[in-house]
Chains A and B, each alone.
Chain A
Amino acid sequence: MDLQSILIALTVGLASGAIGSFIVVRRMSLVGDALSHVALPGIALALSYGIDPFFGVIFFILAAAVIVWWLETKTALPADALVGILFTASLAVGILTIPDQEIIESLFGAFPTLPTGMLLLIIVGALGTTFLIFYLAPKFLFFTFSEELAATKGITQKYNLLLLVIFAFVVALGIKLVGTLLMGALTIIPPIIAKNLSRSMKSFIFASSLLGALIGVAGVVAADYFNLLPGPTIILFGIILFLLSLPFAKGRHYISVFR
Protein backbone atom coordinates (compact mmCIF):
# COMPACT_ATOMS: atom_id res chain seq x y z
CA MET A 1 0.00 0.00 0.00
CA ASP A 2 1.32 3.40 -0.99
CA LEU A 3 1.40 5.33 2.30
CA GLN A 4 2.74 8.52 0.74
CA SER A 5 -0.22 8.83 -1.66
CA ILE A 6 -2.72 8.05 1.09
CA LEU A 7 -1.30 10.78 3.33
CA ILE A 8 -1.45 13.31 0.50
CA ALA A 9 -4.99 12.24 -0.46
CA LEU A 10 -6.14 12.48 3.16
CA THR A 11 -4.74 15.92 3.94
CA VAL A 12 -5.24 17.55 0.55
CA GLY A 13 -8.73 16.01 0.45
CA LEU A 14 -9.61 17.69 3.77
CA ALA A 15 -8.40 21.07 2.50
CA SER A 16 -10.08 20.63 -0.91
CA GLY A 17 -13.48 19.86 0.54
CA ALA A 18 -13.24 22.73 3.03
CA ILE A 19 -12.29 25.43 0.52
CA GLY A 20 -14.53 23.95 -2.18
CA SER A 21 -17.60 24.51 -0.01
CA PHE A 22 -17.13 28.28 -0.36
CA ILE A 23 -16.33 28.09 -4.07
CA VAL A 24 -19.62 26.21 -4.59
CA VAL A 25 -21.80 28.56 -2.51
CA ARG A 26 -20.23 31.52 -4.29
CA ARG A 27 -21.32 29.86 -7.56
CA MET A 28 -17.76 29.75 -8.85
CA SER A 29 -17.67 25.99 -9.44
CA LEU A 30 -16.79 26.31 -13.10
CA VAL A 31 -13.91 28.71 -12.45
CA GLY A 32 -12.77 26.48 -9.61
CA ASP A 33 -12.98 23.39 -11.75
CA ALA A 34 -10.88 24.84 -14.57
CA LEU A 35 -8.38 26.94 -12.60
CA SER A 36 -6.07 23.94 -12.28
CA HIS A 37 -5.49 23.92 -16.07
CA VAL A 38 -3.35 27.00 -15.64
CA ALA A 39 -0.78 24.86 -13.84
CA LEU A 40 0.25 23.17 -17.07
CA PRO A 41 2.58 25.87 -18.49
CA GLY A 42 4.02 26.14 -14.98
CA ILE A 43 4.92 22.47 -15.04
CA ALA A 44 6.47 22.86 -18.50
CA LEU A 45 8.56 25.83 -17.41
CA ALA A 46 9.75 24.12 -14.23
CA LEU A 47 10.70 20.97 -16.13
CA SER A 48 12.71 22.91 -18.70
CA TYR A 49 14.67 24.59 -15.89
CA GLY A 50 15.09 21.34 -13.99
CA ILE A 51 13.27 22.49 -10.83
CA ASP A 52 10.43 20.72 -9.02
CA PRO A 53 7.21 21.26 -11.02
CA PHE A 54 5.42 22.14 -7.76
CA PHE A 55 7.03 25.57 -7.74
CA GLY A 56 6.04 26.26 -11.34
CA VAL A 57 2.49 25.18 -10.49
CA ILE A 58 2.28 27.40 -7.40
CA PHE A 59 3.47 30.44 -9.29
CA PHE A 60 1.12 30.04 -12.25
CA ILE A 61 -1.94 29.13 -10.22
CA LEU A 62 -1.57 31.95 -7.71
CA ALA A 63 -1.10 34.39 -10.59
CA ALA A 64 -4.25 33.01 -12.24
CA ALA A 65 -6.22 33.43 -9.00
CA VAL A 66 -5.23 37.09 -8.80
CA ILE A 67 -6.11 37.61 -12.49
CA VAL A 68 -9.55 36.01 -12.03
CA TRP A 69 -10.21 38.22 -8.99
CA TRP A 70 -9.05 41.33 -10.85
CA LEU A 71 -11.22 40.57 -13.89
CA GLU A 72 -14.29 39.92 -11.76
CA THR A 73 -14.09 42.79 -9.32
CA LYS A 74 -11.96 45.54 -10.78
CA THR A 75 -12.93 45.60 -14.44
CA ALA A 76 -16.14 45.77 -16.44
CA LEU A 77 -14.81 43.14 -18.85
CA PRO A 78 -16.83 39.95 -19.42
CA ALA A 79 -14.97 37.93 -16.78
CA ASP A 80 -16.42 34.49 -17.53
CA ALA A 81 -15.45 34.53 -21.21
CA LEU A 82 -11.95 35.88 -20.53
CA VAL A 83 -11.35 33.35 -17.76
CA GLY A 84 -12.42 30.60 -20.18
CA ILE A 85 -9.96 31.85 -22.77
CA LEU A 86 -7.16 32.15 -20.21
CA PHE A 87 -7.68 28.59 -19.02
CA THR A 88 -7.87 26.96 -22.45
CA ALA A 89 -4.89 28.98 -23.68
CA SER A 90 -2.89 27.65 -20.71
CA LEU A 91 -3.95 24.13 -21.56
CA ALA A 92 -2.87 24.58 -25.20
CA VAL A 93 0.48 26.11 -24.29
CA GLY A 94 1.05 23.43 -21.68
CA ILE A 95 0.32 20.54 -24.03
CA LEU A 96 2.71 21.90 -26.66
CA THR A 97 5.56 22.58 -24.23
CA ILE A 98 5.51 19.60 -21.87
CA PRO A 99 7.73 16.69 -22.98
CA ASP A 100 5.67 13.72 -24.27
CA GLN A 101 6.73 11.30 -21.54
CA GLU A 102 5.47 13.69 -18.83
CA ILE A 103 2.18 14.62 -20.39
CA ILE A 104 -0.19 11.93 -19.09
CA GLU A 105 1.21 12.32 -15.59
CA SER A 106 0.80 16.11 -15.71
CA LEU A 107 -2.79 15.89 -16.92
CA PHE A 108 -4.13 13.02 -14.83
CA GLY A 109 -1.74 12.71 -11.90
CA ALA A 110 0.37 9.79 -10.70
CA PHE A 111 1.42 8.03 -7.53
CA PRO A 112 4.11 10.45 -6.42
CA THR A 113 7.51 9.42 -5.08
CA LEU A 114 8.48 12.57 -3.27
CA PRO A 115 11.52 13.37 -1.16
CA THR A 116 10.57 13.59 2.54
CA GLY A 117 10.89 17.37 2.61
CA MET A 118 8.43 17.82 -0.23
CA LEU A 119 5.98 15.34 1.29
CA LEU A 120 6.11 17.18 4.59
CA LEU A 121 5.57 20.49 2.84
CA ILE A 122 2.40 19.16 1.20
CA ILE A 123 1.03 17.51 4.35
CA VAL A 124 1.77 20.42 6.69
CA GLY A 125 0.62 22.89 4.02
CA ALA A 126 -2.68 21.07 3.56
CA LEU A 127 -3.40 20.69 7.28
CA GLY A 128 -2.43 24.29 8.03
CA THR A 129 -4.63 25.52 5.20
CA THR A 130 -7.56 23.45 6.45
CA PHE A 131 -7.32 25.12 9.86
CA LEU A 132 -7.04 28.53 8.23
CA ILE A 133 -10.15 27.85 6.14
CA PHE A 134 -12.19 26.89 9.20
CA TYR A 135 -10.91 29.96 11.02
CA LEU A 136 -11.86 32.28 8.14
CA ALA A 137 -15.13 30.46 7.38
CA PRO A 138 -17.49 32.98 9.02
CA LYS A 139 -15.89 35.85 7.09
CA PHE A 140 -16.08 34.03 3.75
CA LEU A 141 -19.64 33.07 4.50
CA PHE A 142 -20.69 36.56 5.54
CA PHE A 143 -19.22 38.03 2.39
CA THR A 144 -20.84 35.38 0.20
CA PHE A 145 -24.16 35.84 1.90
CA SER A 146 -24.45 39.58 1.52
CA GLU A 147 -21.69 41.96 0.48
CA GLU A 148 -23.76 44.86 1.81
CA LEU A 149 -24.19 43.46 5.30
CA ALA A 150 -20.59 42.24 5.42
CA ALA A 151 -19.43 45.77 4.62
CA THR A 152 -20.84 46.99 7.94
CA LYS A 153 -18.36 44.62 9.62
CA GLY A 154 -15.42 45.71 7.49
CA ILE A 155 -15.45 42.51 5.45
CA THR A 156 -14.63 43.63 1.92
CA GLN A 157 -13.52 42.36 -1.48
CA LYS A 158 -10.12 41.45 -0.10
CA TYR A 159 -11.69 38.34 1.43
CA ASN A 160 -12.78 37.29 -2.02
CA LEU A 161 -9.15 37.51 -3.13
CA LEU A 162 -8.01 35.62 -0.04
CA LEU A 163 -10.52 32.87 -0.80
CA LEU A 164 -9.23 32.50 -4.36
CA VAL A 165 -5.59 32.50 -3.27
CA ILE A 166 -6.20 29.79 -0.64
CA PHE A 167 -8.16 27.84 -3.22
CA ALA A 168 -5.30 28.11 -5.73
CA PHE A 169 -2.81 26.95 -3.09
CA VAL A 170 -4.90 23.87 -2.27
CA VAL A 171 -5.22 23.02 -5.97
CA ALA A 172 -1.44 23.32 -6.35
CA LEU A 173 -0.91 20.92 -3.41
CA GLY A 174 -3.00 18.21 -5.04
CA ILE A 175 -1.89 18.48 -8.66
CA LYS A 176 0.91 15.89 -8.41
CA LEU A 177 -1.49 13.20 -7.27
CA VAL A 178 -4.70 14.14 -9.08
CA GLY A 179 -3.40 15.97 -12.19
CA THR A 180 -4.03 19.40 -13.70
CA LEU A 181 -7.21 18.42 -15.54
CA LEU A 182 -8.92 16.83 -12.56
CA MET A 183 -7.67 18.54 -9.39
CA GLY A 184 -10.29 21.27 -9.61
CA ALA A 185 -12.98 18.59 -9.53
CA LEU A 186 -11.69 17.26 -6.20
CA THR A 187 -12.55 20.64 -4.67
CA ILE A 188 -16.01 20.87 -6.25
CA ILE A 189 -17.39 17.32 -5.89
CA PRO A 190 -17.22 17.04 -2.05
CA PRO A 191 -19.28 20.22 -1.45
CA ILE A 192 -21.95 19.37 -4.01
CA ILE A 193 -22.42 16.02 -2.27
CA ALA A 194 -22.38 17.70 1.16
CA LYS A 195 -24.96 20.25 0.02
CA ASN A 196 -27.39 17.41 -0.66
CA LEU A 197 -26.92 16.02 2.83
CA SER A 198 -26.74 19.15 5.00
CA ARG A 199 -29.33 21.36 6.63
CA SER A 200 -26.93 23.82 8.20
CA MET A 201 -23.81 25.63 7.11
CA LYS A 202 -21.60 24.17 9.83
CA SER A 203 -22.52 20.60 8.95
CA PHE A 204 -22.12 21.45 5.26
CA ILE A 205 -18.53 22.64 5.66
CA PHE A 206 -17.56 19.76 7.96
CA ALA A 207 -19.17 17.16 5.73
CA SER A 208 -17.55 18.64 2.64
CA SER A 209 -14.11 18.53 4.23
CA LEU A 210 -14.52 14.95 5.46
CA LEU A 211 -15.92 13.83 2.10
CA GLY A 212 -12.87 15.33 0.38
CA ALA A 213 -10.61 13.17 2.53
CA LEU A 214 -12.82 10.09 2.07
CA ILE A 215 -12.96 10.45 -1.72
CA GLY A 216 -9.22 11.07 -1.94
CA VAL A 217 -8.20 8.10 0.20
CA ALA A 218 -10.76 5.68 -1.27
CA GLY A 219 -9.75 6.71 -4.78
CA VAL A 220 -6.06 6.15 -4.05
CA VAL A 221 -6.72 2.75 -2.47
CA ALA A 222 -8.88 1.66 -5.42
CA ALA A 223 -6.38 2.95 -8.00
CA ASP A 224 -3.57 1.13 -6.20
CA TYR A 225 -5.56 -2.11 -6.03
CA PHE A 226 -6.72 -2.10 -9.66
CA ASN A 227 -3.50 -0.56 -10.96
CA LEU A 228 -5.18 2.56 -12.36
CA LEU A 229 -4.22 6.24 -12.56
CA PRO A 230 -5.07 7.89 -9.20
CA GLY A 231 -6.59 11.13 -10.60
CA PRO A 232 -9.43 9.68 -12.68
CA THR A 233 -10.14 6.98 -10.09
CA ILE A 234 -10.53 9.57 -7.32
CA ILE A 235 -12.83 11.74 -9.43
CA LEU A 236 -14.99 8.83 -10.61
CA PHE A 237 -15.38 7.61 -7.04
CA GLY A 238 -16.50 11.12 -6.06
CA ILE A 239 -19.03 11.26 -8.89
CA ILE A 240 -20.50 7.89 -7.86
CA LEU A 241 -20.95 9.26 -4.32
CA PHE A 242 -22.61 12.36 -5.77
CA LEU A 243 -25.13 10.23 -7.69
CA LEU A 244 -25.85 8.23 -4.54
CA SER A 245 -26.46 11.49 -2.61
CA LEU A 246 -29.10 12.79 -5.03
CA PRO A 247 -32.11 11.11 -3.38
CA PHE A 248 -31.15 12.87 -0.12
CA ALA A 249 -31.20 16.34 -1.68
CA LYS A 250 -33.18 18.71 0.56
CA GLY A 251 -35.43 21.23 -1.09
CA ARG A 252 -35.71 18.99 -4.15
CA HIS A 253 -33.79 21.39 -6.38
CA TYR A 254 -32.34 18.48 -8.33
CA ILE A 255 -35.41 16.29 -8.36
CA SER A 256 -37.54 19.03 -9.89
CA VAL A 257 -35.42 18.74 -13.01
CA PHE A 258 -37.01 15.39 -13.72
CA ARG A 259 -40.63 16.44 -13.29
Chain B
Amino acid sequence: MKEILLVRNLSVILDSEEIIHDISFSVRSGEALAVIGPNGAGKTVLFRALLGLLPYRGEIYWQKGIKAGYVPQKFAIDKTLPITVQEFFLLKAKNFWWPGKEWLLKLVHELKAVGLDESVLNKKLTDLSGGQLQRILIAFALVDHPEVLLFDEPTAGIDIGFEETIYTILHRLQKDRGTTIILISHDIGIVYRYADEVICLDKDMLCHGRPTEVLKPEDLAAIYGEGAIYKHGHGHHGLGH
Protein backbone atom coordinates (compact mmCIF):
# COMPACT_ATOMS: atom_id res chain seq x y z
CA MET B 1 0.00 0.00 0.00
CA LYS B 2 1.12 3.52 -0.81
CA GLU B 3 1.76 6.09 1.86
CA ILE B 4 -0.84 8.81 1.72
CA LEU B 5 0.53 10.88 4.59
CA LEU B 6 4.01 11.21 5.99
CA VAL B 7 4.70 13.16 9.19
CA ARG B 8 8.28 13.66 10.33
CA ASN B 9 9.51 15.32 13.53
CA LEU B 10 6.35 17.38 13.86
CA SER B 11 6.21 19.92 16.67
CA VAL B 12 3.50 22.54 17.20
CA ILE B 13 4.12 25.54 19.40
CA LEU B 14 1.26 27.91 20.18
CA ASP B 15 1.81 31.06 22.24
CA SER B 16 5.28 29.77 23.17
CA GLU B 17 3.78 26.61 24.66
CA GLU B 18 4.69 23.34 23.03
CA ILE B 19 1.47 21.41 22.32
CA ILE B 20 2.97 18.62 20.22
CA HIS B 21 6.57 17.49 20.60
CA ASP B 22 8.51 15.76 17.85
CA ILE B 23 6.14 13.11 16.54
CA SER B 24 6.62 11.02 13.41
CA PHE B 25 4.24 8.59 11.73
CA SER B 26 2.87 7.63 8.37
CA VAL B 27 -0.52 6.55 7.06
CA ARG B 28 -0.95 4.14 4.18
CA SER B 29 -3.73 4.43 1.62
CA GLY B 30 -6.92 2.74 2.80
CA GLU B 31 -5.73 2.45 6.38
CA ALA B 32 -7.65 3.58 9.44
CA LEU B 33 -5.59 5.38 12.04
CA ALA B 34 -6.93 6.33 15.45
CA VAL B 35 -5.44 9.08 17.58
CA ILE B 36 -6.18 8.72 21.26
CA GLY B 37 -5.13 10.66 24.32
CA PRO B 38 -6.49 12.59 27.29
CA ASN B 39 -8.09 16.03 27.04
CA GLY B 40 -5.57 18.69 26.11
CA ALA B 41 -3.18 16.13 24.62
CA GLY B 42 -2.99 17.99 21.32
CA LYS B 43 -5.22 15.71 19.23
CA THR B 44 -7.28 18.45 17.59
CA VAL B 45 -4.17 20.60 17.24
CA LEU B 46 -2.58 17.72 15.33
CA PHE B 47 -5.56 17.67 12.94
CA ARG B 48 -5.41 21.41 12.44
CA ALA B 49 -1.69 21.19 11.68
CA LEU B 50 -2.33 18.37 9.18
CA LEU B 51 -4.90 20.59 7.46
CA GLY B 52 -2.40 23.44 7.25
CA LEU B 53 -4.33 25.67 9.65
CA LEU B 54 -1.54 26.06 12.19
CA PRO B 55 2.15 26.87 11.93
CA TYR B 56 4.39 23.90 12.75
CA ARG B 57 7.95 22.65 12.76
CA GLY B 58 8.95 19.47 10.99
CA GLU B 59 7.46 17.99 7.86
CA ILE B 60 3.96 17.03 6.73
CA TYR B 61 3.67 15.43 3.30
CA TRP B 62 0.28 14.58 1.80
CA GLN B 63 0.18 12.51 -1.36
CA LYS B 64 -0.16 14.93 -4.28
CA GLY B 65 -3.66 16.03 -5.29
CA ILE B 66 -5.34 14.32 -2.37
CA LYS B 67 -8.88 15.37 -1.41
CA ALA B 68 -9.59 15.52 2.31
CA GLY B 69 -12.87 15.63 4.20
CA TYR B 70 -12.96 16.97 7.74
CA VAL B 71 -15.57 16.59 10.44
CA PRO B 72 -14.69 19.01 13.24
CA GLN B 73 -15.65 18.29 16.83
CA LYS B 74 -16.93 21.78 17.49
CA PHE B 75 -18.68 23.87 14.93
CA ALA B 76 -19.78 27.36 15.89
CA ILE B 77 -22.04 29.21 13.48
CA ASP B 78 -23.26 32.77 13.56
CA LYS B 79 -26.96 32.40 14.38
CA THR B 80 -27.91 35.37 12.22
CA LEU B 81 -26.42 33.94 8.99
CA PRO B 82 -29.21 33.37 6.49
CA ILE B 83 -27.80 30.17 4.98
CA THR B 84 -29.86 27.11 4.06
CA VAL B 85 -28.64 23.51 4.35
CA GLN B 86 -28.64 23.22 0.56
CA GLU B 87 -26.49 26.32 0.21
CA PHE B 88 -24.07 24.90 2.77
CA PHE B 89 -23.53 21.87 0.51
CA LEU B 90 -23.37 24.13 -2.54
CA LEU B 91 -20.17 25.60 -1.12
CA LYS B 92 -18.55 22.39 -2.30
CA ALA B 93 -20.35 22.20 -5.66
CA LYS B 94 -18.68 23.10 -8.92
CA ASN B 95 -21.41 25.60 -9.67
CA PHE B 96 -22.76 27.42 -6.62
CA TRP B 97 -25.33 29.51 -8.48
CA TRP B 98 -26.71 26.83 -10.85
CA PRO B 99 -25.82 23.37 -9.52
CA GLY B 100 -28.09 21.29 -11.77
CA LYS B 101 -30.41 18.33 -11.06
CA GLU B 102 -27.73 15.65 -11.13
CA TRP B 103 -25.83 17.31 -8.31
CA LEU B 104 -29.00 17.56 -6.25
CA LEU B 105 -29.74 13.85 -6.70
CA LYS B 106 -26.24 12.95 -5.55
CA LEU B 107 -26.69 15.17 -2.53
CA VAL B 108 -29.97 13.52 -1.55
CA HIS B 109 -28.19 10.17 -1.83
CA GLU B 110 -25.44 11.30 0.56
CA LEU B 111 -28.05 12.66 2.99
CA LYS B 112 -29.81 9.28 3.07
CA ALA B 113 -26.53 7.65 4.07
CA VAL B 114 -26.52 9.69 7.28
CA GLY B 115 -30.23 9.16 7.89
CA LEU B 116 -31.60 12.49 6.68
CA ASP B 117 -34.11 13.13 3.91
CA GLU B 118 -34.28 15.95 1.41
CA SER B 119 -36.78 18.01 3.41
CA VAL B 120 -33.83 19.20 5.50
CA LEU B 121 -32.32 20.99 2.47
CA ASN B 122 -34.54 24.05 2.66
CA LYS B 123 -34.15 24.53 6.39
CA LYS B 124 -31.82 27.16 7.74
CA LEU B 125 -28.57 25.63 8.93
CA THR B 126 -28.83 27.63 12.16
CA ASP B 127 -32.24 26.08 12.95
CA LEU B 128 -30.94 22.48 13.09
CA SER B 129 -30.57 20.49 16.29
CA GLY B 130 -27.13 19.37 17.44
CA GLY B 131 -27.68 15.81 16.21
CA GLN B 132 -28.92 16.94 12.79
CA LEU B 133 -25.97 19.30 12.45
CA GLN B 134 -23.55 16.47 13.23
CA ARG B 135 -25.13 14.37 10.47
CA ILE B 136 -24.98 17.29 8.06
CA LEU B 137 -21.28 17.80 8.84
CA ILE B 138 -20.54 14.14 8.13
CA ALA B 139 -22.45 14.25 4.84
CA PHE B 140 -20.65 17.51 4.02
CA ALA B 141 -17.26 15.87 4.52
CA LEU B 142 -18.25 12.90 2.33
CA VAL B 143 -20.21 14.58 -0.47
CA ASP B 144 -17.27 14.95 -2.86
CA HIS B 145 -15.87 11.48 -2.06
CA PRO B 146 -12.58 12.43 -0.38
CA GLU B 147 -9.68 9.98 -0.34
CA VAL B 148 -8.98 10.87 3.29
CA LEU B 149 -11.44 11.52 6.07
CA LEU B 150 -10.31 13.34 9.21
CA PHE B 151 -12.90 12.77 11.89
CA ASP B 152 -12.65 14.50 15.27
CA GLU B 153 -14.56 12.59 17.98
CA PRO B 154 -17.17 10.79 15.86
CA THR B 155 -19.30 9.75 18.80
CA ALA B 156 -19.05 12.75 21.11
CA GLY B 157 -22.44 14.18 22.02
CA ILE B 158 -24.64 11.98 19.87
CA ASP B 159 -27.28 9.44 20.68
CA ILE B 160 -26.64 5.69 20.76
CA GLY B 161 -28.69 4.95 17.64
CA PHE B 162 -26.67 7.31 15.54
CA GLU B 163 -23.43 5.98 17.01
CA GLU B 164 -24.21 2.69 15.25
CA THR B 165 -24.89 4.62 12.02
CA ILE B 166 -21.46 6.22 12.27
CA TYR B 167 -19.86 2.81 12.76
CA THR B 168 -21.66 1.58 9.67
CA ILE B 169 -20.62 4.61 7.62
CA LEU B 170 -16.96 4.27 8.64
CA HIS B 171 -16.99 0.59 7.84
CA ARG B 172 -18.59 1.09 4.43
CA LEU B 173 -16.23 3.93 3.53
CA GLN B 174 -13.24 1.76 4.19
CA LYS B 175 -14.64 -1.27 2.42
CA ASP B 176 -16.41 0.24 -0.59
CA ARG B 177 -14.49 3.40 -1.33
CA GLY B 178 -11.12 2.49 0.17
CA THR B 179 -11.17 5.77 2.06
CA THR B 180 -8.28 6.44 4.38
CA ILE B 181 -9.63 7.35 7.80
CA ILE B 182 -7.87 9.28 10.53
CA LEU B 183 -9.98 9.67 13.61
CA ILE B 184 -9.65 11.13 17.06
CA SER B 185 -11.48 9.25 19.76
CA HIS B 186 -11.90 8.84 23.48
CA ASP B 187 -13.78 5.67 22.74
CA ILE B 188 -11.47 2.66 22.85
CA GLY B 189 -14.33 0.55 21.45
CA ILE B 190 -14.12 2.40 18.12
CA VAL B 191 -10.36 2.06 18.11
CA TYR B 192 -10.51 -1.73 18.48
CA ARG B 193 -13.29 -2.06 15.94
CA TYR B 194 -12.04 0.16 13.17
CA ALA B 195 -8.44 1.20 13.56
CA ASP B 196 -5.62 -0.67 11.86
CA GLU B 197 -3.14 1.54 13.67
CA VAL B 198 -3.33 3.67 16.77
CA ILE B 199 -1.30 6.59 18.08
CA CYS B 200 -1.36 7.53 21.75
CA LEU B 201 -0.72 11.22 22.04
CA ASP B 202 -0.01 13.32 25.09
CA LYS B 203 2.22 16.04 23.67
CA ASP B 204 4.68 13.26 22.88
CA MET B 205 3.80 10.13 20.97
CA LEU B 206 3.52 7.52 23.72
CA CYS B 207 2.60 4.54 21.60
CA HIS B 208 2.18 3.64 17.97
CA GLY B 209 1.15 0.33 16.46
CA ARG B 210 -1.72 -2.13 16.10
CA PRO B 211 -4.40 -1.56 18.74
CA THR B 212 -4.29 -5.15 19.97
CA GLU B 213 -0.54 -4.93 20.42
CA VAL B 214 -0.09 -1.52 21.98
CA LEU B 215 -3.32 -0.99 23.87
CA LYS B 216 -2.88 -3.28 26.86
CA PRO B 217 -5.15 -2.16 29.69
CA GLU B 218 -2.23 -1.84 32.09
CA ASP B 219 -0.34 0.38 29.62
CA LEU B 220 -3.34 2.64 29.21
CA ALA B 221 -3.69 2.95 32.94
CA ALA B 222 0.00 3.79 33.26
CA ILE B 223 -0.17 6.40 30.54
CA TYR B 224 -3.45 8.10 31.27
CA GLY B 225 -4.24 7.14 34.83
CA GLU B 226 -7.02 4.79 35.93
CA GLY B 227 -10.38 5.64 34.38
CA ALA B 228 -9.04 8.37 32.13
CA ILE B 229 -10.18 6.40 29.14
CA TYR B 230 -13.21 4.24 29.23
CA LYS B 231 -13.13 1.08 27.29
CA HIS B 232 -16.54 -0.17 26.49
CA GLY B 233 -17.07 -3.73 25.62
CA HIS B 234 -13.80 -4.86 24.15
CA GLY B 235 -14.18 -8.60 23.71
CA HIS B 236 -17.94 -8.92 23.51
CA HIS B 237 -18.48 -5.83 21.36
CA GLY B 238 -17.60 -5.49 17.73
CA LEU B 239 -14.85 -7.48 16.09
CA GLY B 240 -17.30 -10.18 15.05
CA HIS B 241 -19.14 -8.33 12.25
Q: Footprint of B on A, CB under 8 Å?
A: 25, 27, 134, 137-138, 141-142, 145-149, 151-153, 156, 195, 198-204, 250-251, 253
A145 engages B91 (CB within 8 Å):
yes
B82 engages A152 (CB within 8 Å):
no
Contact residues of B between 133 and 151, Cβ < 8 Å to A: 140-141, 146
CA A146 to CA B75, docked complex, whole Å: 8
- Interfacial chain A residues near B92, Cβ < 8 Å: 142, 153
**In the complex, given contacts A145-B88, A152-B69, what are 7 additional A-B residue pairs having Cβ atoms less than 8 angstroms apart?**
A148-B51, A148-B72, A151-B52, A152-B67, A195-B80, A200-B82, A250-B82
Pick the residue among A25, A147, A151, A152 that contacts B78 (CB under 8 A). Answer: A25
CA A188 to CA B20, docked complex, whole Å: 42
Q: Given A148-B70, A152-B68, A253-B79, is A201 in contact with B87 using a C-beta cutoff of 8 Å?
A: yes
Instruction: Output the nearest chain A residue to B71 by Cβ-Cβ distance.
Output: A149
Instruction: Output the nearest chain B residue to A198 by Cβ-Cβ distance.
Output: B82
- Interfacial chain A residues near B97, Cβ < 8 Å: 134, 137, 202
B83 engages A201 (CB within 8 Å):
yes
* A21 to B: closest C-beta gap in Å: 10
* A132 to B: closest C-beta gap in Å: 14
- Interfacial chain B residues near A195, Cβ < 8 Å: 80, 82
- Interfacial chain A residues near B146, Cβ < 8 Å: 152
CA A147 to CA B52, docked complex, whole Å: 11
- Interfacial chain A residues near B126, Cβ < 8 Å: 251
* B59 to A: closest C-beta gap in Å: 18
5 example contacts (A-B, Cβ-Cβ < 8 A) are as follows A138-B91, A148-B70, A152-B69, A153-B92, A251-B80
Pick the residue among A25, A146, A148, A200 that contacts B48 (CB under 8 A). Answer: A148
B53 engages A151 (CB within 8 Å):
yes
Q: How many residues of B contact A (CB 8 A)?
A: 31
- Interfacial chain A residues near B83, Cβ < 8 Å: 141, 145, 200-201
B51 engages A152 (CB within 8 Å):
yes
CA A168 to CA B69, docked complex, whole Å: 34
A147 engages B87 (CB within 8 Å):
no
Q: Given A134-B97, A152-B69, is A200 in contact with B87 using a C-beta cutoff of 8 Å?
A: yes
Pick the residue among A27, A199, A253 that contacts B84 (CB under 8 A). Answer: A199
Number of A-B contacts (CB under 8 A): 68
The DSSP consensus for interface residues of chain B is loop
Pick the residue among B53, B81, B82, B91 that contacts A148 (CB under 8 A). Answer: B53
- B124 near A: Cβ within 8 Å? yes
Q: Given A138-B96, A141-B91, A202-B97, is A147 in contact with B80 using a C-beta cutoff of 8 Å?
A: no
Pick the residue among A149, A200, A250 that contacts B70 (CB under 8 A). Answer: A149
* B183 to A: closest C-beta gap in Å: 15
- B222 near A: Cβ within 8 Å? no
- B90 near A: Cβ within 8 Å? yes
- Interfacial chain A residues near B88, Cβ < 8 Å: 145
Instruction: Output the nearest chain A residue to B76 by Cβ-Cβ distance.
Output: A146
- Interfacial chain A residues near B91, Cβ < 8 Å: 138, 141-142, 145
- Interfacial chain A residues near B75, Cβ < 8 Å: 146
Chain B 77-114 interface 0/1 with A at a Cβ cutoff of 8 Å (1 = within): 11111111001101111001100000000000000000
A202 engages B87 (CB within 8 Å):
yes
* B237 to A: closest C-beta gap in Å: 32
Contact residues of B between 202 and 217, Cβ < 8 Å to A: none
CA A153 to CA B78, docked complex, whole Å: 21
Instruction: Output the nearest chain B residue to A202 by Cβ-Cβ distance.
Output: B87
CA A152 to CA B11, docked complex, whole Å: 21
- Interfacial chain A residues near B70, Cβ < 8 Å: 148-149, 151-152
- Interfacial chain A residues near B124, Cβ < 8 Å: 199
* A145 to B: closest C-beta gap in Å: 7
- Interfacial chain B residues near A201, Cβ < 8 Å: 81-84, 87
A251 engages B79 (CB within 8 Å):
yes
B79 engages A149 (CB within 8 Å):
no
Q: Which 8 A-B pairs have the closest CB atoms?
A: A138-B96, A142-B91, A201-B83, A198-B82, A152-B68, A200-B84, A201-B87, A151-B51
- Interfacial chain B residues near A152, Cβ < 8 Å: 51, 67-70, 141, 146
